[in-house]
Chains A and B, each alone.
Chain A
Amino acid sequence: MPQELRIVLRNVDKIDALKIDDYIDANGYKPLEKARSMPQADLIQEIRQSGLRGRGGAGFNTGQKLAFTYSAAGDQKYIVCNADEGEPGTYKDRVIMQSDPHAVIEGMAICGYAVGATKGYIYCRGEYPYVAEILNAAIAQAKEKDVLGEFDVEVCLGAGAFVCGEETALIESIEGKRGEPRCKPPYPPVSGLWGKPTVVANVETLANLPQIVDRGSGWFAAIGAAGYPGTKVLTLTGDVVNRKYIEVPTNTTIKEVIYEFGGGIAGGRKFQAVQIGGNSGGIIPESLLGTQIAFDAMAAVGATLGSGAVFVMDETRDLRDVVCRMAKFFEHESCGKCIPCREGTMRMFDLCEKVGQGKGTAADLALLQEIGETMAVACFCGLGQAAPTPVLTAIKHFDLLAGKGCA
């Protein structure tokens, strides 16, 4: 029986999130002290060697990102915590922030020291005003205790836009603008918030950092899958017995996640499909359940790890209806800046609706495929590039014309 391994969730139910002393008693803010005793380059090297890769979806080596920002020229640099968590079925960042806000703040302060940034922003999605309150309280306590030194953190509340999870759109939003992504290059480590070198990192990524600094890169690198070491927080939704969150090493298989941790399919029904990584993730058939929940392993089967949402559908679900719902998500959340995404998400939703009503034809699926393939390579940002994934994978692995229960 595989076990959970709690690194970022280590303090859940153990400490009172609103008491900084609890956090300090649990070894909190000591890693920050340790980090500050190291030369910046050594600290960055340590983080790089841990193999930690971003938990926000893109899977970029965090130490590498810090190195870029460190070497970029700038009188002012920023650390931005991406707490926009918008992928449907995902709430792991909320759990981390609600149960252990100081871990995130400490992670930011470590990054701040590493790259020479004295200011951090937590961009908290507008759906989480109650989390923003916790964060603000935690920041106030940290300031009072003077554990952050010269590093200052501020919380920005989003206002309902999934695309603001994209790092450059997020930066625009912090700047008080429409949350539309910017042209890349330049990337944030070179020119980010107000044109200054900026680290944008996910909540979960940041919450790992104190532990890595504390216990060393070797310890972290040895956990889970080699190319994507550590743990991943997953949120189980849909037709599983246990709809809950877990933190497991990244070499855990999807099957273990659903059947060991999730308790299997609810109501004794049969498995049909699982979507991992939120609405942008691929829809995975039974045959691929042996895949590990690591970045490269998922990519190898044409899926994504993404946010770590695990949305399970049993045999009774009409996949066409679910896929149509997913298409509508993107139609609603496209920022509308670029044509293939703005028009493509709208047309995909139209066609999915038709297919969902059982009126679809082979030509409709071919057209969906054609739009999807173009969007995947031609859209301006990751939203549009990933938007066709559920539809394309559903077409690939299932027979959408025949209706439910097909494989």
Chain B
Amino acid sequence: MKDFQEEEPFRLQADKPKNWFQALLQGAGGLLARGRDAFGKRAGHQQTETNHGEVNQMSNYEGLFSEFKGLPGGIIQSYHTIQKEVGYLTEEAILAAAKVFNVPAKNAYEVASFYSYFSTKPRGKNIIRICESAPCHVAGANEVIAALEQALGIKVGDSTSDGKFALELTECVGQCQDTPVITVNGQPFGNITADSVSEVLAQF
């Protein structure tokens, strides 16, 4: 008999016990940690080894955070700083933030995982974002995506293997007089065409 659950399109992992009988059969043998990996779990995102900052020690992070320490609500601002330095929010950075801002790791992580500009997984140094909101969409965002994917040899959501670029999608970045728009490290580039993509990349 075919297993009906394995046919579900969104059921990614087949090792889930089908029911409590099976769960019990796994018994103590099933007591191994089978948690998810926070830093690579979203579909379409591949893990890169990139880590271009040298800030790895908890103490260094606390140094980076110290500027915001007394600032109420400063955790988001401090995450911006960390990302500028390290490219993404490492587990150590999140735990350090929790310490500096005197909140449980839970709160620090909940914030880090909410905002689309924060990433909790390694990614390329220069972050390219392609606006795919409707005005850019009708102006040819799909062609820009295709051109960038081709030029970089990666898919949206991935980073180049040299760790130089990460390719992400974004919604409107507020430069809609010049659709289609991309940003690189937050800097906007308008009226992008398949041809002008390489010119932009050459600047980084």
Contacts and interface: CB of A to CB of B under 8 A. Distances in A.
Given A86-B172, A235-B177, A157 B76 contact: yes
> In which size bucket is the chain A interface?
35 or more
Interface string A303-336: 0000001010100010000100110110011010
Contact of B76 (A91, A130, A176): A176
A380 interface: no
Contact of A128 (B139, B174, B179): B174
B114 A279 contact: no
Given A89-B172, A311-B134, A176 B110 contact: no
Contact of B116 (A160, A239, A311): A160
A50 B27 CA distance: 73
A157 B80 contact: yes
Given A159-B116, A279-B133, A90 B172 contact: yes
Most A CB contacts (10 A, CB to CB) among B111, B133, B137, B175 go to B133
8 contacts: A86-B171, A88-B135, A158-B115, A160-B117, A238-B134, A238-B138, A325-B137, A329-B134
Interface string A175-207: 111111000000000000010000000000000
B79 A159 contact: yes
B173 interface: yes
B135 A237 contact: yes
A34 interface: no
Contacts of B170: 127, 160
A126 B74 CA distance: 14
A237 B110 CA distance: 36
Most A CB contacts (10 A, CB to CB) among B72, B79, B174, B177 go to B174
Interface in B160-180: 170-179
Interface residues of B, number: 37
Contact of B73 (A176, A245, A275, A309): A176
Interface of B: 72-77, 79-80, 101, 107, 110-111, 114-118, 132-135, 137-139, 170-179, 183, 186-187
A244 interface: yes
Nearest to B179: A237
Nearest to A328: B132
A161 B115 contact: yes
Contact of A322 (B72, B137, B174): B137
Interface string A154-167: 00111111100000
Contact of A89 (B72, B111, B132, B133): B133
A89 B76 CA distance: 26
A355 B172 CA distance: 24
A100 interface: no
A243 interface: yes
Contacts of A162: 171
Interface string A112-155: 00000000000001111110000000000000000000000000
Most A CB contacts (10 A, CB to CB) among B110, B134, B178, B186 go to B134
B134 A176 contact: no
Contacts of B183: 127
A317 B75 contact: no
Nearest to B135: A237
Contacts of A311: 134-135
Contacts of B114: 161, 178-180, 335
A126 B115 contact: yes
